[in-house]
Amino acid sequence: MTRTSAETVNADRFISIEGIARRYPAAGGGSTTIFEDLWLQVPRGEFVCIIGHSGCGKTSVLNILAGLETPSDGVVVVDGQAIDGPSLDRAVIFQGHALLPWRSVLGNVAYAVSSRWRKAGRTEVEERAKRFIDLVGLKGNEAKKPAELSGGMRQRVGIARALSIEPKIMLMDEPFSALDALTRGTLQDEVRRICKSTGQTVVMITHDVDEAIYLADKIVLMTNGPEAMVAEVVENPLPADRRRDSIHHEPDFYTVRNHLVDFLVSRSRTFRDEKPAGYDPRHPPLVRLGVPPEPPPANTIPFPAVAKARD
Amino acid sequence: MKSLGVRAGLLSVLLFVAFCALWQIAVTPSASTGPALDPEYAKLMGISTVGAKSAMPGPLDVAAKLWDNLKRPFYDNGPNDKGLGLQLLYSIGRVFIGYGLAVLVAVPVGFLIGMSPLAYRALDPFIQVLKPISPLAWMPLALYTIKDSALSAIFVIFICSVWPMLLNTAFGVGAVRKEWLNVARTLEVGPWRRAFTVILPAAAPTILTGMRISIGIAWLVIVAAEMLVGGTGIGYFVWNEWNNLSIANVIVGILLIGVVGMVLDLILARLQKRVTFPE
């Protein structure tokens, strides 16, 4: 069922991570390598989820992409330019919403808008901010302070703030991990709807397998840290018009899910010692999962043996 | 059952009345002392018919004096006889100048110290030594170098208000949440805009706490400083009335010092509330 293609991850290198490393000085001298020689390409308009256990450095990868951290080695090239610090082209949605608590909802979004368009007039800025507050379904809450909002609403404001500056890339660091399951579901729907309709390029960190399957076009699997690596890139075989309420009836759903869960449960640990022949960190294998052309035996719905792989 | 506020208010009034009553009893002369003499004769003999009348005024005397003072607060009959309102204005003016200068120095300097861990560490020993010095200990040095008692008083207010504000500002600025700074960074906000739109609002509650501590200290110190330098001010008024042996006026002065101090604190508390944000 699993075919590992020899071809590299898409040739369109909108985001190109080239041999980055992250090392910390260790307690007794020397240094701890979280990851090194990490390569990854993301084409324009693609939604990529990076999945892996805590400590594999996935947040570091995202922070490097954002420009908030500098890699100990290597470079990241975005749209043909090596990144050098944070930029308005790369919006970040933080894990803990990171709203400015002394500003209203409108004030928070308007702050981003006026940072993007410094010469814009007040009405213009507010109009634009309101449009994006509307887009994430928060119309009527413009004057509220973040403290008056629920966790899900705060994260919506964070999303509105990120979208409002029309970034080339959206970077999300486990944006929904602090939310309850219901809210998380609705927000995933919104993010998927907005990103699909705008063709937004997204890199998202998650450790929620189902979230990755629902949202991502490609899922990047990272092995356990320290010295983590990109084990493979899984292409999501589910149809683009997948829906949350019926996604588990898609024929390939459990194939992907089991593959991811298997990886998180065992291969993320053992991969380093059992690298497949010809593994090249510069071109992590692209894995295509899918049912063979002939239909599967009727009415066998695989039992979800493993619950969510969460650390 | 009435609300807690009403009951607390009633209790306060009750305590006040009880205190005044005790005070009145304590200063009332015991009636049956001296012999029954003609008062004029008694005076000639060097004794008093009124018994052991205490020099301590009762609450009613103080109230009457207070009323006298409040009736005409701004008269000015020369250096040793000015209205209480005028004296208070002198003190408040001094505090505002010294305190205002301290704000102008402490907030920006504290800001810089807070932004730089190096500066924070390097300056910390100086601040720790200078902070606990009683402001009045600066007085001789101030008088010698400044050679002007009025300016010296202002300097002493300045030097005592500056430390709490400096430390609180530095601490507040240094403790701004990293994620808020990261938001500013990802939005490519310049250093000035970041200082005014992220760091200042985030540190404002801590800065205002420092300012509130400082205004309290400044008001404590001005009274003592004015007793030393003399001339004008509520501290001088209290000292002058002590020299006049007018205990009632001393008590009136003390009362007003308390009231003004409370008002100053209330103003700062109000400001503090305005910049505090719920998380």
Supply the pLDDT for residue A310.
45
A41 strand-pairing partners? A16
Are residues A91 and B186, on separate chains, in Cβ contact within 8 Å?
A: yes
Instruction: Kindly list the residues from chain B whose CB atom is less than 8 angstroms away from the CB atom of residue A101.
Output: 277-279
| Nearest Cα residue in chain A from B197 | A111
- Percentage of residues of chain B with pLDDT beyond 90: 56
Q: CB contact, 8 Å: B32 with chain A?
A: no
Q: CB contact, 8 Å: B12 with chain A?
A: no
Option in A85, A115, A147 nearest B187 (CB):
A115
Q: How far is B274 from chain A (nearest CA, A)?
A: 10
Confidence grade of residue B95 (pLDDT, cut at 50, 70, 90): very high
Are residues A85 and B185, on separate chains, in Cβ contact within 8 Å?
A: yes
Task: Please state the CATH superfamily assignment of the domain spanning residues B60-275 in this structure.
Answer: MetI-like (1.10.3720.10)
Centre a 10 Å sphere on the Cβ of residue A180 and count the other Cβ atoms it contains: 11
Supply the pLDDT for residue A180.
85
Are residues A145 and B179, on separate chains, in Cβ contact within 8 Å?
A: no
CB A221 within 8 A of CB A263: yes
CA distance B145 to B142: 5
| CA dist list (Å): B262 to A229, A293, B252, B256, B258 | 64, 84, 15, 10, 6
| Nearest Cα residue in chain B from A102 | B277
CA distance B258 to B220: 10
Instruction: Kindly list the residues from chain A whose CB atom is less than 8 angstroms away from the CB atom of residue B275.
Output: 102
CA A135, A140, A143, A145 dihedral sign is negative
Instruction: Kindly list the residues from chain B whose CB atom is less than 8 angstroms away from the CB atom of residue A145.
Output: 277-278
Q: Tell me the whole-structure pTM to 2 decimals.
A: 0.81
CB A231 within 8 A of CB A222: yes
Q: CB contact, 8 Å: A86 with chain B?
A: yes
Q: CB contact, 8 Å: B23 with chain A?
A: no
| Nearest Cα residue in chain B from A103 | B277
CB B256 within 8 A of CB B219: no
Query: ipTM exceeding 0.90?
Result: no
Bond prior to A226 in cis (omega within 30° of 0): yes
A220 strand-pairing partners? A50, A233
* pLDDT above 50: residue B131: yes
Instruction: Kindly list the residues from chain A whose CB atom is less than 8 angstroms away from the CB atom of residue B208.
Output: none
A270 Cβ partners below 8 Å, 6+ apart?
Answer: none
Supply the pLDDT for residue A8.
41
CB A83 within 8 A of CB A34: no
Are residues B197 and A111, on separate chains, in Cβ contact within 8 Å?
A: yes
Could you give the 3-state DSSP secondary structure of residue B210? helix
Residue with tokens 């609450």: B59
Option in A66, A67, A94 nearest B179 (CB):
A94
Supply the pLDDT for residue B50.
56
The residue among A100, A163, A173 with the most chain B CBs within 10 A of its CB, best to mutate, is A100
Supply the pLDDT for residue B205.
95
Joined tokens for residue A203? 């890199």
Supply the pLDDT for residue A294.
53
Are residues B189 and A147, on separate chains, in Cβ contact within 8 Å?
A: no
| CA dist list (Å): B185 to A69, A133, A254, B188 | 11, 22, 41, 5
- The average pLDDT across B3-28 equals 93
pLDDT tens digits for range B17-66? 999 999 998 888 765 555 566 767 766 766 655 555 567 888 888 898 88
Supply the pLDDT for residue A301.
54
Q: How far is A91 from chain B (nearest CA, A)?
A: 7
Option in A67, A98, A145 nearest B183 (CB):
A98
Domain spans of chain A, in order of start: 13-89+167-288
CA distance B163 to A114: 37
Joined tokens for residue B217? 């200290």
Supply the pLDDT for residue A306.
47
CA A203, A209, A214, A219 dihedral sign is positive
| Nearest Cα residue in chain A from B201 | A102
Supply the pLDDT for residue A299.
56
Better-scored residue on pLDDT, B40 or B240: B240
| Nearest Cα residue in chain A from B177 | A98
3-class SS letters over chain A = CCEEECCCCCCCCCEEEEEEEEEEECCCCCEEEEEEEEEEEECCCCEEEEECCCCCCHHHHHHHHHCCCCCCEEEEEECCEECCCCCCCEEEECCCCCCCCCCCHHHHHHHHHHHHCCCCCHHHHHHHHHHHHHHCCCCCCCCCCHHHCCHHHHHHHHHHHHHHCCCCEEEEECCCCCCCHHHHHHHHHHHHHHHHHHCCEEEEEECCHHHHHHHCCEEEEECCCCCECEEEEEECCCCCCCCCCCHHHCCCHHHHHHHHHHHHHHHHHHCCCCCCCCCCCCCCCEEECCCCCCCCCCCCCCCCCCCCCCC
Q: How far is A228 from chain B (nearest CA, A)?
A: 25
Supply the pLDDT for residue B37.
65
- The packing angle between helices A122-135 and A151-164, to 10°, is 130
CA distance A225 to A22: 11
Centre a 10 Å sphere on the Cβ of residue B177 and count the other Cβ atoms it contains: 15
CB A136 within 8 A of CB A188: no
| CA dist list (Å): B248 to A233, A260, B255, B259 | 88, 86, 11, 17
Q: CB contact, 8 Å: A84 with chain B?
A: no
Instruction: Kindly list the residues from chain B whose CB atom is less than 8 angstroms away from the CB atom of residue A94.
Output: 179, 182-183
Instruction: Kindly list the residues from chain A whose CB atom is less than 8 angstroms away from the CB atom of residue B204.
Output: 102
CB B153 within 8 A of CB B231: no
Could you give the 3-state DSSP secondary structure of residue B140? helix
Supply the pLDDT for residue B2.
75
Are residues B185 and A147, on separate chains, in Cβ contact within 8 Å?
A: no
- The average pLDDT across B247-267 equals 93
Are residues A98 and B197, on separate chains, in Cβ contact within 8 Å?
A: no
CA distance B158 to B100: 8
CA distance B163 to B243: 34
CA distance A204 to B245: 80
Are residues B188 and A88, on separate chains, in Cβ contact within 8 Å?
A: yes
Confidence grade of residue B102 (pLDDT, cut at 50, 70, 90): very high
Are residues B180 and A100, on separate chains, in Cβ contact within 8 Å?
A: yes
Supply the pLDDT for residue B84.
87
CA distance B274 to B205: 9
| Least reliable range by pLDDT among A301-305, B68-72, B121-125, B176-180 | A301-305
Supply the pLDDT for residue B129.
92
pLDDT along chain A (311 residues), means of 10: 43 84 85 89 92 87 93 91 91 90 95 93 93 90 93 91 92 88 87 88 92 93 87 89 86 90 89 83 83 53 49 46
Better-scored residue on pLDDT, B204 or B51: B204
* pLDDT above 60: residue B244: yes
Q: CB contact, 8 Å: A14 with chain B?
A: no
Q: CB contact, 8 Å: B188 with chain A?
A: yes
CA distance B277 to A102: 5
Confidence grade of residue B262 (pLDDT, cut at 50, 70, 90): very high
Q: CB contact, 8 Å: B187 with chain A?
A: yes
Could you give the 3-state DSSP secondary structure of residue B252? helix
Q: How far is B102 from chain A (nearest CA, A)?
A: 26
Instruction: Kindly list the residues from chain B whose CB atom is less than 8 angstroms away from the CB atom of residue A165.
Output: 187
| Nearest Cα residue in chain B from A112 | B187
CB A288 within 8 A of CB A219: no
| DSSP codes joined into one string, B54-123 | -SS--HHHHHHHHHHHHHSTT-B-STT-B-HHHHHHHHHHHHHHHHHHHHHHHHHHHHHHHH-HHHHHHH
Q: CB contact, 8 Å: A185 with chain B?
A: no
Domain spans of chain B, in order of start: 60-275
Give the burial class of B261: count Cβ atoms within 10 A of its Cβ; 0-12 exposed, 13-18 middle, 19 or more buried.
middle
Are residues A90 and B186, on separate chains, in Cβ contact within 8 Å?
A: yes
Supply the pLDDT for residue A12.
72
* pLDDT above 60: residue B192: yes
Instruction: Kindly list the residues from chain A whose CB atom is less than 8 angstroms away from the CB atom of residue B195.
Output: none
* The CATH classification of domain A13-89+167-288, taken from the options 3.90.1640.10, 1.10.645.10, 3.40.50.300, 3.10.310.10: 3.40.50.300
